[in-house]
Structure formats: C-alpha cells, structure tokens
Amino acid sequence: MLQRQLLLRAKYSSPLPRCSPLQLNRSWQRRYASGEAGEGNTGHINVAPSEGILFFNNLLPLNVRWPHKLLVLFDRRKSSVLTDQERFERVGAVSPSQVVQNAIKASNLGLGPVNIVEVLPRINEAGAFVKFHHDGATDPATVAEAVRLHLQKNKVRPWWNPFISVKANLVLGKPWIEDLFRLPSRRLKVEFFPTQPGKEAAELSQEQLYSFFRPYGKLSDIVAQPSDSKVVPRYAYLDFSRIGKAVMAKNCLHGYTVTEAQGGGQLGTIFRLTYEKKQRAGWVRDWLLNHPRIVIPALAALIAGLSVAVFDPIRTLSIRAHITRAFHIEDNVVFRWFKTQSDDLISKVQQFRNASENDEGGMQVVWDDRRSDIEQIQSWLMETADTFIIVQGPRGSGKRELVIDHALEHKRAAHKVLVIDCKPIQEARGDAATIAAAAGEVGYRPVFSWVNNISGLMDLAAQGMTGMKAGFSETLENQ
C-alpha cells in the first residue's frame, strides 16, 4: 500500500505540544503506517480526543482519474502526488497542510498550538483529509473556522479551472477511507442506520436533510424513498449542483450520528453516504417504449429522411456517370491513345484480306440503303417526347446497330444516350432480383433490395402492435 508522508517541510515539523516522548513517537508512526485505505487498511481514521480532521476539495482535477489507476498497476508507493509536498506544489492547487499552518498563524480567534499529524490523500475525489492535533483549550470547530476564513480571504483557484476555489470543512462523522474505483457523482444516496444492531432508525424528512447538507453546497433536488417501498434500510437521494459539493458533503457527514434533539430518534440515526449514478435518459427510454403508435411512424420517417439525404446524391452521381460513361475504360484517355496508335497497324493487316474489305463494303451498302429509315427515326426524335418509338424486325436484322450506332450516333458521342436491356429484368425471379436488375440497367447504386423483405416484416410487426401499417414497405411497382 501507499505509505503516507507529511506534506510539511522540515521547518514546519515541530514536536507536538504537551506530549510525552512515547506519545510523540506514536504520532510519527501513525504518519507512515496508514495509506489510502485508512489506518491499517481498515478504511477508517482513528481520531483521539485531542485531534480533529479537515477535508479539502478541488486540490486536483476531479475528472482526470485514469492516471491514478494506471500508476496503481505499477507501483502504489508512487501513485499519489499528495504524499510529497514538492511534487504536489507543482501539480496540485495548494498544499493543504501549508494552508492550515498559514491559517493558524493569521488567525485572531485565540487558537492554541495546532500541529499537523498526517495527510490522507483522496485521488479519486481530488481532495485530502488533514488530521491535526490541538490542545485542550482549542475547539476543532474553531480551527475549521479559521481555515475557512483564511481560504475565503485568500482564495486559491486551481490552474486547470479558475472558476472554482479550494474549500475546507470540519469532518463531523467517521469517513470511510476506501481505495475502490468508484467515481464521484452529483447524486448522494443517504441510508439511515440505527446506532445499535436490531434497533430501528429514524427516517429524516426532506427539511431535516436540507438543514444538514445545504451548508456544503447548493442542492438541486431531494428525492425521498417511496412510502410504500419495503426496501431497508430506508434511504433518500440528494442531488447537488456540482460534483465537488457532493464530495465535500460525503466526506464530512459519512458516519455522522443524528441525535434525538436533531430528529434522529431515541437512540440516534447514523448517516451512510454513497455516490449514486443518476439515470438521466431513463424517462426518454420509457416514453419511447410506451408510445409505439407515435415512435414507429416517426422512426420510419427518420430513416427515410436519412436515406434520402445520404444516398440520393450518391445515386444521382452514379446514374450520371452511367449515362456519360465517365468510368468506362473505352472512354479513358490512355485507352483511346493506344487504340488510335493501333489503328494504322490493324488497317495495314486488313489490306491483305480482300474478303474483309468486300464485307465492309457490303455493309456500307446496306446502311446506305437504310438511310431513309435512319433519317426518319432522327426526325421523330426531334419531335415532342410524349410518345415513344418502336423498331421491329426479325432476330439478327441489326435493329440495335440501326438505332444506337446510326440514328443516335451524335447523341451517343455527346453521352446523352441511356440503353436499357429489358431481358435481364424480364428473366429476374422475385422482387429483390427484379429491383436489382432494373437498378443495374440505369446505374442506380447503391441499392438495398434486401431491405424490402425486412421492411415487410417490420410493417407486419407494426400492424400487429398498433393495428395499422407503418408504411415501411412498398409494392414492386412503386419501388
């Protein structure tokens, strides 16, 4: 375990007043025998009648706790900067023992000799306990008041957050010094325990809890245990406005005994304080689950809106690239250069093939004979686009070449032709295959044809829950 050292320098380590040599040696042994789990790893601090405890908060960044967990894995003796005053002055806001010494020197409350016994660091809570020794004529509450006035007059603002300041309060209860990896929160759970086993503890009202915990910071809410709840021990929730205030209240009032005069019952009631994580999004989840008639259509509209906003620009670009042949290798500059360079070689080879020349000459005669048909189609294309043109002919008669290579030659060169082959669409089996084939012909990508099946199942489930269709799925014609 981490061994604790004094935060005081040598010039402040004066012997305790009115103590025998045996008592002095015991006090020095206690300084080095306890760690972050309390004295003797018991989780508690032993306090003599002539001793008191102060708790300081905001000494370290509260939200930076992972370095402590990492250092624990390697060497617990070096895991706390609060055990070395020189290291702490470079990292922390201020040395708590130095604050106590300065407050005692500057106080005019008539304090007697006060000496620091030890400092117990609380890395997870960004604070520290300071145990001090006082004479019989000095009250611990007066020492705490002197420290409070000193910090109020000489505010110590941490370098990582200048909007907060270091605070100190007297520990009234019996704090639990644990080294568990429990993170502080703004909500405290207050459990009411009896002072003797088997006895009954009093459940304090919200007004009584407010009077106890409000001095440590602003409270945003107090939630009492439901009256019909059978959970024991009885409890209540306290919500503070800031985490640092909840940390201060927990360490100062944990283990505090509420007397009968304070409303704690005949035998008294003990506070047991723990951090409780507040569920902020619970009401949202409950509302969503309890209103399926509103949530399911709204979810469908949200999914549709997101799909339109994200995928529609991509699909528009894909269709444009499919029509303009932007990504076809035949229209690539490098490919066209190689094709141009090879035309001469191919033409020279074909000069030795008279039959090929005769074939090309024969094909030219055929297209010259169909020139009137080509011009007729071109003239029809210049008219209104409200009608369509059908070119019929036997198989192998050159219908495709007539339309694509000759009638639409200029539009094809300008990349304004979209060719749709209906045969794959006709031969597709099932709605998903038909949609995929039609999308492939027009360059509609990405397409999620399998979503139609899932949408149908979701629509069926919504109809069973709400009695009406949510409109997830559509017919094949609409798609």
Segment 406-454, tens digit of pLDDT: 888 878 777 788 888 888 888 888 877 888 888 888 888 888 767 667 7
Q: Are 121 and 83 in contact (CB under 8 A)?
A: yes
Paired with 269 in beta bridges are 194, 258
Interacting residues of 393 by C-beta distance below 8 A, sequence separation 6+: 399
Segment 267-307, tens digit of pLDDT: 999 999 999 987 766 678 888 888 888 888 888 788 878 88
Residue 456 CB coordination number (10 Å):
14
pTM: 0.56
Q: What are phi and psi of 109, to 5 degrees?
A: -90, 10
Interacting residues of 103 by C-beta distance below 8 A, sequence separation 6+: 146, 147, 149, 150, 151
Q: Which fold has domain 184-278?
A: Alpha-Beta Plaits (3.30.70)
Residues in the chain predicted with pLDDT less than 70, given as ranges, are: 1-40, 63-91, 280-282, 331, 344, 348, 350-366, 384-385, 449, 451-452, 462-463, 465-479
**Domain-by-domain residue ranges, the chain?**
1-182, 184-278, 290-325+415-479
Q: Are 82 and 88 in contact (CB under 8 A)?
A: yes
Strands 38-39 and 34-35: antiparallel
Name the burial class of residue 190, with classes exposed (0-12), middle (13-18) and buried (19+) by CB atoms within 10 angstroms of its CB: buried
Segment 190-208, tens digit of pLDDT: 999 999 988 999 999 999 9
Mean pLDDT of the chain: 79
Residue 346: what pLDDT?
Answer: 74
Q: What distance in Å separates the CA atoms of residue 376 and residue 395, rounded to the nearest whole number?
A: 21
Residue 256: what pLDDT?
Answer: 96
Interacting residues of 81 by C-beta distance below 8 A, sequence separation 6+: 60, 87, 88, 91, 92, 121
Residue 112: what pLDDT?
Answer: 85
Which region holds residue 122: left if phi is over 0, alpha if psi is between -120 and 50, else beta?
beta
Q: Helix or strand or coil: residue 471?
A: coil
Quick one: which H or E segment has residue 106? helix 96-106
Instruction: Specify the DSSP class assigned to residue 15.
Output: P
CA max distance for the chain: 130
Residue 178: what pLDDT?
Answer: 86
Residue 121: what pLDDT?
Answer: 85
Q: What distance in Å separates the CA atoms of residue 39 and residue 46, rounded to the nearest whole number?
A: 7
Rounded to the nearest angstrom, the gap between the alpha carbon of residue 340 and the centroid of all alpha carbons in its chain is: 59
Q: What distance in Å separates the CA atoms of residue 392 and residue 381, rounded to the nearest whole number?
A: 17
Q: Are 125 and 251 in contact (CB under 8 A)?
A: yes
Q: What distance in Å separates the CA atoms of residue 116 and residue 132, rounded to the nearest whole number?
A: 4
Quick one: which H or E segment has residue 271? strand 269-276
Q: What are phi and psi of 359, to 5 degrees?
A: -65, -45
